[in-house]
């Protein structure tokens, strides 16, 4: 059966919701962006500092699991849920500016992550109501917007200098702005998903479909690498600059981290374009193979000129998130349509559990053996994820043969 046409207004709605995502997701790395300042102010070591980011990941998982258990993403209109989430995230993100101590800040970061679980999955669902044929590109652009938003605190920190409080306050204001844009400047599309009553068994059904499982396995490999790379590239590049005799590394490392994270928006849009023309699996597997390769080598290349290291980092940043939207796109296509929101949330929550391990391990391994082994431990994730996407491609081809992928990757698929 031919897919229904996407309405002309879809591009305006994509622009509106993408702008909302850039603003709404800015608190995610707000403390990571100012970690050097916080370590100095509070006397934190690398492990203690890593928990400020890990707390957000754990909070997101808690919020996502709680949302899944009550089917929240399928019972509240997605843009309204985004607004609620951004208000709570803004309050929790700004709270450390008044606490000015480590313990309460950890709790605040946990709440920030839980609140953002009411922002990201509903945004993907809301955008999917405007696109069917071009859904891969649309969700790729949405993930690109998330990527830019994640890098925004590094920009604020680089521009603002050493003050960590302004970074938290600016990103809190931004996330409320994102929620308001989503709720009042956007609207739902014609391809709406059926509403669903409260049904705890929906979580089990969301995990039962083999295609959902394979898409999720690919996502897990992707997540093993992504957030650890985002969280620690700034610290890595600061060490590279220090090794080459730079006295002030904070601001250039902040701008470098912002660029490496932000360039992922281009990669995500490119992968979305490829996915709509060839296959979802292809557009996910190729970036994973690229990013995994860079992860395996970049930590050993700190003796290279900083500009060359940064260029390789930009390749890594473009590839590491390029595949992200396609796992969610597959779920919106193959999952029980009544529980798409729940299925997305379960997938995202499970993937974020893995990020806790790698965000914690990278600084531990770095302190023991250096950046080479620290980043190499990220490489197996995308490799295994690419293999999962190969299996998914073969399963979907057996059911309904897709358009043949380009010849240069057909042996893999």
| pLDDT at residue 1 is higher than 50 | no
Show the DSSP H helices in 244-320 as ranges.
250-262, 264-277, 280-297, 306-320
Residue 326 near residue 280, CB atoms below 8 Å: yes
Q: Is 25 in a helix, a strand, or coil?
A: coil
159 contacts: CB under 8 Å, gap ≥ 6: none
Confidence of residue 207 (pLDDT cuts 50, 70, 90): low
Q: Looking at residue 293, what is its pLDDT?
A: 96
Which tens digit of pLDDT belongs to each residue from 111-125? 999 999 888 878 877
Confidence of residue 274 (pLDDT cuts 50, 70, 90): confident
Between 215-224, 271-280, 292-301, 340-349, the lowest mean confidence (pLDDT) is in 340-349
Confidence of residue 3 (pLDDT cuts 50, 70, 90): low
The residue written with tokens 């309405």 in the block is 7
Q: How far apart are CA 91 and CA 200, in angstroms?
A: 30
403 or 156: whose pLDDT is higher? 156
376 contacts: CB under 8 Å, gap ≥ 6: 295, 296, 299
Which tens digit of pLDDT belongs to each residue from 143-152? 888 888 888 8
For range 194-203, the mean pLDDT? 55
Count other C-beta atoms under 10 Å from residue 409's C-beta: 15
Residue 135 near residue 276, CB atoms below 8 Å: yes
- Angle in degrees, CA 245, 247, 252, rounded to 5: 100
Which tens digit of pLDDT belongs to each residue from 161-176? 557 888 899 999 999 9
* Nearest Cα residue to 157 out of 59, 242, 69, 250: 250
Phi, psi dihedral angles at 142 (to 5 degrees): -65, -45
- Angle in degrees, CA 187, 192, 198, rounded to 5: 110
The residue written with tokens 């993408």 in the block is 18
Q: What totals of helices (H) and strands (E) does the chain contain, helices first?
A: 20, 0
Which tens digit of pLDDT belongs to each residue from 290-303? 999 999 999 999 99
Q: How far apart are CA 366 and CA 236, in angstroms?
A: 9
| pLDDT at residue 177 is higher than 90 | yes
DSSP string, 37-68: HHHHHHT--HHHHHHHHHHHHHHHHHHHHHHH
Confidence of residue 342 (pLDDT cuts 50, 70, 90): low
Structural tokens at position 56: 């957000």
Please state, for a pLDDT cut of 70, what percent of the chain lies above it. 86
Q: Is 364 in a helix, a strand, or coil?
A: helix
- Angle in degrees, CA 124, 114, 139, rounded to 5: 15
Q: How far is CA 260 from CA 20, 129, 183, 399, in A?
A: 21, 31, 30, 39
For range 319-341, the mean pLDDT? 77
Which tens digit of pLDDT belongs to each residue from 35-48? 888 888 898 887 88
Structural domains for the chain = 10-399 (1.20.1250.20)
- Helix 46-69 × helix 340-369 angle, to 10°: 170
Cα-trace Rg, the chain = 20
Q: How far apart are CA 373 and CA 241, in angstroms?
A: 19
Confidence of residue 407 (pLDDT cuts 50, 70, 90): very low
Between 207-221, 279-293, 393-407, the lowest mean confidence (pLDDT) is in 393-407
Between 62-76, 281-295, 374-388, the lowest mean confidence (pLDDT) is in 62-76
Mean pLDDT of the chain: 84
Which tens digit of pLDDT belongs to each residue from 350-375? 888 888 899 999 999 999 999 999 99
Confidence of residue 411 (pLDDT cuts 50, 70, 90): very low
For range 282-310, the mean pLDDT? 94
For range 45-61, the mean pLDDT? 86
DSSP string, 337-377: GGGHHHHHHHHHHHHHHHHHHHHHHHHHHHHHH-HHHHHHT
Q: Looking at residue 190, what is its pLDDT?
A: 72
Structural tokens at position 402: 């897709």
């Amino acid at each position: 059966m031919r897919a229904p046409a996407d309405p002309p207004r879809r591009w305006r709605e994509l622009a509106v919701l993408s702008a909302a995502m850039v603003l709404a997701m800015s608190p995610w790395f707000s403390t990571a962006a100012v970690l050097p300042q916080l370590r100095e102010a509070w006397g934190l070591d690398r492990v203690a500092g890593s928990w400020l980011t890990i707390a957000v990941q754990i909070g997101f998982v808690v919020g996502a699991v709680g949302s899944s258990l009550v089917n929240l993403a399928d019972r509240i209109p997605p843009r309204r849920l985004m607004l609620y989430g951004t208000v709570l995230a803004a309050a929790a993100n700004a709270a450390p500016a008044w606490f000015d101590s480590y313990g309460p800040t950890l709790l605040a970061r946990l709440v920030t992550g839980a609140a953002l679980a009411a922002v990201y999955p509903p945004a993907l669902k809301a955008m999917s109501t405007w696109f069917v044929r071009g859904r891969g590109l649309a969700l790729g652009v949405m993930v690109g917007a998330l990527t830019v938003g994640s890098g925004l605190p590094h920009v604020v920190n680089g521009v603002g200098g050493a003050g960590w409080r302004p970074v938290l306050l600016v990103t809190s204001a931004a996330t409320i702005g994102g929620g308001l844009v989503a709720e009042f400047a956007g609207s739902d599309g014609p391809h709406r998903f059926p509403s669903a009553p409260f049904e705890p068994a929906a979580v089990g059904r969301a995990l039962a479909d083999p295609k959902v499982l394979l898409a999720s396995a690919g996502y897990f490999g992707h997540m093993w690498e992504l957030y650890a790379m985002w969280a620690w590239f700034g610290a890595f590049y600061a060490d590279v600059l220090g090794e080459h005799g730079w006295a002030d590394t904070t601001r250039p490392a902040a701008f470098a981290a912002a660029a490496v994270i932000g360039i992922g928006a281009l990669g995500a849009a490119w992968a979305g374009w490829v996915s709509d023309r060839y296959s979802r699996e292809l557009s996910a597997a190729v970036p994973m193979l690229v990013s995994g390769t860079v992860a395996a080598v970049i930590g050993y290349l700190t003796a290279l000129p900083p500009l060359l290291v940064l260029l390789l980092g930009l390749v890594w940043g473009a590839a590491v998130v390029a595949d992200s939207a396609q796992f969610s796109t597959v779920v919106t296509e193959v999952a029980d349509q009544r529980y798409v929101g729940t299925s997305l949330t379960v997938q995202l929550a499970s993937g974020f559990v893995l990020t806790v391990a790698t965000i914690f391990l990278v600084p531990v391994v770095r302190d023991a053996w250096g950046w080479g082994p620290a980043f190499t431990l990220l490489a197996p994730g995308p490799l295994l994820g690419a293999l999962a996407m190969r299996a998914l491609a073969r399963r979907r081809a057996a059911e309904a043969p897709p358009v043949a992928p380009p010849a240069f990757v057909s042996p893999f698929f």
